[in-house]
């Protein structure tokens, strides 16, 4: 029997029965799409169209349509890549790491967070694929396949190749974990389906699930093992992404703090995006009893913790640069704070180090509109962090004769905005056709407290 | 090793107790199992904590399979890198050794990838789950909603039918029925009343 605490807040409020959980969570799937959904989906599809257009322009006319140059070879493209990969990490943390820590509050948010991971990694993948310029060869040149050049293999010493393996594995494993978790809930929707089309598709994807306890037993074992392997995976993926920079010799990049700094930053930005999505979703879909203020508060605490870790990393970088006596490293940081991109640096510092400190106050952690605004601040701040790391370090490297400015073109801006279109299109489709909250897990904690 | 699935057993009669309350359900399962091994399976809309012990289920061997797939992934990654970086075309990059710590990321990633996919594959295989397959045991459409079901073979040595019926009703079952399987997808359901008569 599960011990019920009388002190901690309930995980699911509103005195729900098992049937209530089923009907309420299946409601958006079974009803016609709401006006909010239609408006949001239309906007998302428009931005997806912008993505298609800008990527087509890039492929037809080349990387010259972007603002990159010989000095700043990575600009908005890799900034956005790291931004989206980072966002994906919160989903795996909520699904996997919180499962290992037996944090039951993860149960009502893990499905949407894991979906967010999958869609974010899809958005991230756009950038390394397309920034190669010739997608039609670039997409297979990164793979270790035999070829007609004797065979010329890929370089396993390079973090860029480790990235290929890491991102592919991360996407695949997250997809498997998400889908396995969905099977019992798809079975629930299948058993309630009225039309032939719904019956067919939900039956197809539920794979004959009956709710047999023998199957549930194995399901729980599988969830635990997948959580166990996803945890080092999420740490390794963003470590490898950070190695894209840390293994170089560029001042401001070549520091050993990058792996833990990037991982903490990824979790920070990921939770920022989860909060952005869930504060809206719980209001629009009426899920306040499932995604309670307590859930939002727990996520705000994680945001504050990881934001402080990121801030500590900033200070450490600065200190080590000063202490090292390496004039190139020292200049990299002076340039960040006082050079032509000072506005980006101070936005980053304000949004990432200073802003999350308001979450020390309980009011801030428990007021949804304020949490939403702070989550946008976090998203913006973390975008600027990647921009500052990449562009300010590259634009003024060792040789002053190579120093240039970088600014994005409309095509680059369009691709970035378009990835939001891809993300939200996928998310709206997910919200319409699949249960956003894990019904079976929520049913198992109906009378539980944290 | 193979579970006796209801639909496979022709002319076998199975009694189902359908419950609403998870705690009462768990207690009844424990009591019925306490009489002897007679529970074919239970069906719940969510994983009920403690039911594996109550039913006497053995530990799953899936972790062993997962580990083996992980080892396969590790060996694959090692051989892949060995063949390409050391055997076929050795390229000295940055004076780094051909075999070295730079292999670790790919070794780790492929181990995880193989573990995840292998485990998912084994899970589907073991539970006989397949895309497009109809659910093999559907006792009540609400078994994925809010009903918990215990399935007991009526012709077993450990418990009498009448004793089983009263145990189920006393344990809180809202409905008890008997199903006789004639063939796959062909069965007859009969409701059992508290006084042991059929309707």
- pTM surpassing 0.80? yes
Q: Which of B104, B107, B112 to mutate to test the interface with A (most CBs of A within 10 A)?
A: B112
* Residues 411-440 (A) with a CB less than 8 A from some CB of B: 439-440
In the structure encoding, which two tokens stand for residue A164, read together? 């290929």
Are the beta carbons of B46 and A203 separated by less than 8 Å?
no
Query: What phi, psi does A24 have (nearest 5°)?
Result: -70, -40
Considering only the beta carbons, identify the residue of A18, A183, A236 that sits closest to B146.
A18
Nearest to A93 by CA among A262, A353, A270, A223: A270
pLDDT, one tens digit per residue, over A353-377 is 999 999 999 999 999 999 999 999 9
> What 3-state class would DSSP assign to B191?
strand
B56–chain A Cβ distance below 8 A for any pair? no
Q: Which two tokens stand for residue A444?
A: 């198992």
For residue A318, count other CB atoms closer than 10 A to its CB.
16
Mean of all residue pLDDT scores within chain A: 94
Instruction: Please name each of the domains of chain B with its CATH number.
Output: 9-59+135-191 (3.30.70), 62-126 (no CATH)
Least Cα separation, residue A161 to chain B (angstroms): 9
A238 CB burial (10 A radius; 0-12, 13-18, 19+): buried
Per-residue pLDDT tens over the stretch A315-344: 999 999 999 999 999 999 999 999 999 999
Q: Judge whether A173 is closer than 8 Å to chain B, CB to CB.
A: yes
Structural domains in chain A?
18-146+159-444 (1.20.1630.10)
Residues 65-94 of A with CB under 8 A from B: none
- Give B 57-96 residues with CB within 8 A of chain A: 57, 60, 62-63, 66, 70, 80-81, 84-85, 88-89, 91, 93-94, 96
Q: Return the biggest CA–CA distance within chain B.
A: 85
Which residues have C-beta within 8 Å of that of residue A186, sequence separation ≥ 6? A202, A205, A206, A209, A434
| Mean pLDDT, chain B, integer | 88
pLDDT above 90 covers a percentage of chain A that reads: 91
Beta-bridge partners for B183: B186
Q: Find the helix packing angle between A258-284 and A368-387, rounded to 10°.
A: 150
Residue A404 contacts B where some CB pair is shorter than 8 Å: no
The CA-atom distances, in angstroms, between A51 and each of A96, A122, A417, A421, B190 are 31, 13, 7, 7, 59
Question: What tokens appear for A113 in the block?
Answer: 């967070």
Give the ranges where A193-250 is alpha helix by DSSP (H): 196-206, 213-246
Min Cα distance B13 → chain A (Å) is: 18
Q: What is the mean pLDDT of residues B30-47?
A: 90
Helices (H), A31-75: 35-61
Record the tokens describing residue A199, joined without a space.
């019956």
**Could A212 and B127 be called an inter-chain contact, meaning their C-beta atoms sit closer than 8 Å?**
yes
B106 chain-A contacts, CB cut-off 8 A: 156, 161-162, 165
pLDDT tens per residue, range B122-143: 999 999 999 988 887 888 889 9
Any CB–CB contact under 8 A between A240 and chain B? yes
Chain A residue numbers touching B102 (CB-CB < 8 A) = 156-157
Residue-wise pLDDT for A105-163, tens only, equals 999 999 999 999 999 999 999 999 999 999 999 888 889 999 888 889 999 999 999 99
Comparing CB atoms, the residue among B41, B108, B117 nearest residue A213 is B41
Q: What count of residues does chain B have? A: 199
Is the interface score ipTM higher than 0.85?
Answer: yes
């Amino acid at each position: 029997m599960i011990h019920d605490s009388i002190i901690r807040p309930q995980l699911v409020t509103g005195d729900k029965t098992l049937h209530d959980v089923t009907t309420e969570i299946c409601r958006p799937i079974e009803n016609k799409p709401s006006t909010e959904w239609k408006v949001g989906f239309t906007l998302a599809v428009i931005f997806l169209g912008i993505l298609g257009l800008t990527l087509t322009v890039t492929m037809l006319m080349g990387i010259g349509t972007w603002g990159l140059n010989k000095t700043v070879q990575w600009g908005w493209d890799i900034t956005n890549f790291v931004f989206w990969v980072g966002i994906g990490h919160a989903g795996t943390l909520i699904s996997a790491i919180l499962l290992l820590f037996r944090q039951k509050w993860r149960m009502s948010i893990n499905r949407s967070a894991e979906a967010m991971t999958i869609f974010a990694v899809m958005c991230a993948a756009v950038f390394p694929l397309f920034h190669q310029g010739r997608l039609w060869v670039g997409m297979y040149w990164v793979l270790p396949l035999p070829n007609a050049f004797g065979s010329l293999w890929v370089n396993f010493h390079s973090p860029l190749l480790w990235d290929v393996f890491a991102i592919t594995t991360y996407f695949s494993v997250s997809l498997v974990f998400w889908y396995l978790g969905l099977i019992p809930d798809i079975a629930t929707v299948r058993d309630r389906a009225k039309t032939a089309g719904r019956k067919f598709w939900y039956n197809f994807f539920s794979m004959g699930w009956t709710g047999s306890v023998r199957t549930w037993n194995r399901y729980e074992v599988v969830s635990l093992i997948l959580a166990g392997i996803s945890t080092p995976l999420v740490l390794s993926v963003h470590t490898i992404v950070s190695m894209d920079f840390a293994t170089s010799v560029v001042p401001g990049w070549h520091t050993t703090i990058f792996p833990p700094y990037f991982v903490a930053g990824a979790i920070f930005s990921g939770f920022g995006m989860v909060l952005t999505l869930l504060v809206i979703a719980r209001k629009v879909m009426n899920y306040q009893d499932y995604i309670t203020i307590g859930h939002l508060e727990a996520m705000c605490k994680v945001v504050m913790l990881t934001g402080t870790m990121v801030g500590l990393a900033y200070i450490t970088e600065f200190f080590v640069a000063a202490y090292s006596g390496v004039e190139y490293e020292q200049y990299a940081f002076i340039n960040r704070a006082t050079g032509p991109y000072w506005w980006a640096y101070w936005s980053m510092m304000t949004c990432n180090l200073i802003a999350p400190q308001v979450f020390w106050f309980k009011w801030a952690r428990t007021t949804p509109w304020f949490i939403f605004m702070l989550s946008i601040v976090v998203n913006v701040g973390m975008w600027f962090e990647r921009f500052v790391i990449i562009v300010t370090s590259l634009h003024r490297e060792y040789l002053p004769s190579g120093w240039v400015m970088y600014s994005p073109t409309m095509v680059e801006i369009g691709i970035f905005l378009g990835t939001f279109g891809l993300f939200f299109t996928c998310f709206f489709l997910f919200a319409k056709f699949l249960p956003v909250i894990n019904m079976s897990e929520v049913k198992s904690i109906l009378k539980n407290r944290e | 090793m193979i579970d006796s699935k209801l639909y496979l057993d022709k002319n076998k009669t199975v009694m189902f107790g359908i419950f609403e309350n998870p705690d009462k359900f768990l207690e009844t399962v424990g009591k019925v199992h306490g009489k002897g091994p007679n529970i074919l399976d239970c069906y719940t809309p969510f994983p009920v904590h403690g039911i594996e012990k109550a039913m006497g289920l053995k530990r799953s061997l899936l972790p062993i399979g997962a580990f083996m797939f992980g080892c396969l992934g590790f060996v694959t990654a090692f051989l892949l890198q060995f063949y390409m970086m050391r055997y076929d075309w050795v390229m000295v990059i940055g004076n780094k050794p051909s075999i070295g710590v730079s292999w670790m990321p790919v070794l780790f990633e492929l181990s995880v990838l193989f573990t995840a996919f292998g485990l998912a594959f084994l899970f589907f295989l073991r539970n006989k789950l397949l895309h497009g397959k109809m659910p093999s045991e559907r006792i009540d459409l609400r078994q994925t909603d809010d009903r918990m079901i215990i399935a007991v073979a009526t012709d077993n040595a450990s418990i009498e039918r009448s004793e089983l019926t009263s145990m189920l009703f006393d344990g809180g079952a809202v409905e008890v029925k008997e199903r006789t399987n004639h063939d796959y997808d062909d069965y007859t359901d009969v409701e059992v009343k508290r006084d042991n008569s059929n309707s």
